[in-house]
Chain A
Amino acid sequence: MTPTQVATTKPPKQERRKFLSAPGIAFLIIVTQIPFVLAIWFSFTNWNLLRPDSQGFLGWDRMWRNYERILSSPDFLTVILNTIVLTVSVVLITFVLGLGFALLLNRPFPGRALARTLLISPFLMMPVAAAVLWKNIMLDPSFGLMSFYLSLFGIRNFYALEAFPMASVIAIVSWQWTPFVMLILLAGLQSLPDSTVEAARIDGASGWAMFRHIILPHLTRFIEIALLLETIFILSEFGVIFVTTSGGPGLQTTNLPYQIFLEAFSRQNVGRASAYGIFAVILANIVILLFLRVLRNNKKEVAL
């Protein structure tokens, strides 16, 4: 937190300038809060776009029907589990790889800038393009580069996305998000004062002890921020699934956003899609609240 620069006394005319934030905040409220309130309302209706007359409130006694239907359907558990499996796997994989790359990049060597530039590139690609690249150019069973290398080992017509759909999606998303974790942890490593490291070294700490007692405690805050932020964004992963597997086979790679997309735009069920949407918001909010708590705890050190 940078010390806030408060001018001593301001003329009352200038005090009015605090209202300059009003238009922007009003705009943000309109764009984000109104749809959310509507989503809650729709979730209590039996509205289906295929039946234009079905636009009404379910009634006070049956208002929870969309939620009951969702909770009692076997698909719900599958979708929630897929969402969690995808998110947790990606976060774990990217944490290990991201930390490794950050440690490797945290020492001066010729070509470091190049290595960093190459490493951040997967994150900059639009997710649908990353999905197209992996699906067709790398993994395609007839024409993909990977297929060629597999054929050297006598494995023919192997299609990872069909054989291991969820693992493949996890791998592609992890490839994209490893640079994100790496960048944040690298910033963390570079904010470690040299004097601390020197002092520890003089005390005879090296290698593992240095990592365990000096580097890791300092990194904790950065790890928390990186992984929580990443969790929030991976919960909404959609593009890669849309391109590579369309949520299939069956429901095997359908996560919450993809299920909402199916309910709304294939089955045209506004009520149920909205109820699913509320679950997505609740799930995200749990993580967002954790994130904000971490930020508040670190407020004294965090440069807001």
Chain B
Amino acid sequence: MTAGRSKLGSALLSALTLLLAFAMFFPILWMFLTSFKTEQLAIQFPPPLFFEPTLENWRVALLNSPFMQYLRNTIVITFFAIVLALALGIPTAYAMAFYQTKRTDSSLLWMMSTRMLPPAGVIVPLYVIFLRTNLLDTHLGLIILYAGMNFPLVVWMLRSFMLEVPYEVIEAARLDGANLWQEFGRVILPLLIPGLAATALLAMIFTWNEFFLAVNLTARDASPLSVYVSTFKAAQGNLFIAKMSAAATAAVIPVLVAGWVAQRQLVTGLTMGAIK
């Protein structure tokens, strides 16, 4: 794009881009700022430009509420879902990277398509299965489903990272008589660490934010944060604008930061490796 030939035009275009980016981000920033206002200030019009920030909402929203219990559920579910997806996904990715069969490509595409099936299509049978197996409202139930949800992503991404490992290095290790464990642990794994981190971050983003399965398959004990946030349907009583902002901000910050850190891998992850 050479829309701005002149220096001025170019500067104006840059300013416009930043302005628009700021406009898209503004609601999130506003929520963040509102969380540091007193409830009176939060609904004061016109909105005050400068105010004395208070941590009171954060204290009430996080500590005088069930927030922490939901946060714990989200962390436990997300962590173990990713661990399970990696434990199953690493061997699968390894086999699909280095021991391809005629069916490897179609398996990869099939995996990708499972990630895209509408959860609403299977929510009823899942509910019935969970009911019969006592998985309703348990961490384990959601961990299993979220691991399944992340498995295709893990395989796609790790396989492409493994294919980037120079094959000569692997060959050399094999000629030296390295067995599978030595080959993977000493040769592939050290080179895979950045890829693993990126994959885990992306899986975390999708898992942390998931709502549909969570709201239908948990009731109270094992519900993640997304279910808690969904109860803020209206500003009322002890959950007023400022406290609501504090709780909602706290719920989204980990994923915002993860996304900012993993910006470069975001596209690969979103398109399952279809675009690098």
The residues of B with any CB-CB pair to A shorter than 8 Å are 1-3, 10, 13-14, 16-18, 20-22, 24-25, 27-28, 30-31, 34, 42-43, 45-47, 88-89, 91-92, 94-96, 98-101, 105, 107-109, 111-114, 116-129, 144-145, 147-148, 151-152, 155, 160, 163, 167, 171, 174, 180, 205, 208-209, 211-212, 215-216, 225-226, 229-230, 232-235, 241, 244-245, 248, 251-252, 255-256, 258-260, 263, 266-267, 270-271, 273-276
Contacts and interface: CB of A to CB of B under 8 A. Distances in A.
Contacts of A210: 2
Contact of B160 (A136, A175, A225, A304): A304
A17 B88 CA distance: 14
Contact of B1 (A24, A107, A120, A278): A107
Nearest to A258: B120
B118 A281 contact: yes
Given A39-B122, A122-B24, 10 more contacts: A17-B98, A101-B21, A116-B21, A126-B209, A136-B232, A137-B27, A233-B116, A264-B123, A274-B125, A288-B116
A27 interface: yes
B256 A15 contact: no
Contact of A42 (B113, B124, B241): B124
12 contacts: A4-B100, A18-B95, A23-B91, A27-B151, A35-B126, A119-B24, A136-B234, A183-B266, A226-B271, A238-B211, A239-B230, A260-B121
B266 to A, nearest CB: 6
A247 to B, nearest CB: 13
Contact of A207 (B3, B256, B266): B3
A81 interface: no
Contacts of A157: none
Q: Which 5 A-B pairs have the closest CB atoms?
A: A31-B148, A24-B92, A38-B125, A257-B120, A18-B99
A295 B109 contact: yes
Given A20-B92, A137-B31, A288-B113, A6 B125 contact: no
Binding site secondary structure of chain A: helix
Contacts of A111: 14, 18
A77 interface: no
Given A111-B14, A126-B229, A136 B241 contact: yes
A7 B183 CA distance: 15
Which interface residue of B1, B180, B233, B241 has the most chain A CB atoms within 10 A?
Answer: B1
A104 B10 contact: no
Interface stretch (A57-65, A67-75, A143-151, A162-170): A143-151
Contacts of B125: 34-36, 38-39, 42, 274
A278 B243 CA distance: 41
Nearest to A228: B116
Interface of A: 2, 4-7, 10, 14-15, 17-21, 23-25, 27-28, 31-32, 34-36, 38-39, 42, 101, 103-107, 109-112, 114-129, 131-138, 140, 142-143, 145, 148, 151, 175, 178-180, 183-184, 186-188, 201, 206-207, 210, 222, 225-226, 229, 232-233, 235-236, 238-239, 242-243, 256-257, 260-261, 264-265, 270, 273-274, 277-278, 280-281, 283-284, 288, 291-292, 295, 302-304
B226 A115 contact: no
A238 B212 contact: yes
A58 B45 CA distance: 61
Contacts, number: 319
Given A232-B116, A304-B160, A109 B251 contact: no
Contacts of A188: 275
Contacts of A114: 18, 21
Contact of B21 (A34, A119, A132, A186): A119
A186 B124 CA distance: 39
Given A24-B155, A25-B92, A236 B24 contact: no
A15 B180 CA distance: 12
A24 B124 contact: no
Contacts of A151: 45
Nearest to B100: A4
B233 A229 contact: no
Contacts of B167: 5, 7
Contacts of B226: 126, 128-129, 239
Contacts of A175: 24, 27
Nearest to A179: B24
A39 to B, nearest CB: 5
Contacts of B252: 124-126, 129
